[in-house]
């Protein structure tokens, strides 16, 4: 149980275009979903926290107009990287938690490369 999927697993896009990444909890309803960014050989950095039907809460220094988060349902959250630039190239990971459990369940990640 507690499986989280992400789609796509990797994507290459041209500078200036937008990319949407989906995060789904497959067998449970997520109370909260989280989006992280991880640079090579570095730790995970929390970008934002989202709850279904509410606006996402962004961490300090994360541009909310650039990284649009939509939490449409209890099982789906999307991250859209708008007007992507090469410096946005990174590994993006989502996670979800569920009522009664403290641990977060992570998706497999999406590797974004902007050319």
Residues in contact with another protein by CB under 8 A are 32, 34, 38, 42-44, 46, 49, 57, 91, 93, 95, 97, 102-109, 111
Whether the link from the prior residue into 8 is cis, omega within 30° of 0, is yes
| Closer Cβ to another protein, 14 or 40, answer by number | 40
Provide the minimum distance between the beta carbon of 75 and another protein in the complex, in angstroms, as a whole number.
18
| Closer Cβ to another protein, 16 or 108, answer by number | 108
| Closer Cβ to another protein, 12 or 15, answer by number | 12
Provide the minimum distance between the beta carbon of 83 and another protein in the complex, in angstroms, as a whole number.
25
| Spacing of C-alpha 57 from chain mean position | 13
Provide the minimum distance between the beta carbon of 90 and another protein in the complex, in angstroms, as a whole number.
11
Q: What is the largest CA-CA distance in the chain?
A: 42
Residue 64 is encoded by which pair of tokens?
A: 């909310």
Residue 48 is encoded by which pair of tokens?
A: 């934002």
**In terms of Cα–Cα distance, which of 20, 17, 108, 111 is closest to 72?**
20
Residue whose entry in the numeric block shows the structure tokens 């410096």: 87
| Closer Cβ to another protein, 33 or 114, answer by number | 33
């Amino acid at each position: 149980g507690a499986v989280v999927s992400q789609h796509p697993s990797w994507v290459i896009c041209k500078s200036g275009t937008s990319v949407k990444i989906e995060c789904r909890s497959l067998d449970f309803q997520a109370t909260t979903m989280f989006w992280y960014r991880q640079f090579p050989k570095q730790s995970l950095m929390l970008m934002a926290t989202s709850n279904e039907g509410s606006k996402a809460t962004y961490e300090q220094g994360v541009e909310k107009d650039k990284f649009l988060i939509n939490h449409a349902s209890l099982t789906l959250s999307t991250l859209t990287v708008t007007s992507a630039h090469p410096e946005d190239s990174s590994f993006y990971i989502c996670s979800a938690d569920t009522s009664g459990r403290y641990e977060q369940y992570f998706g497999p990640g999406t590797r974004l490369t902007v050319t």
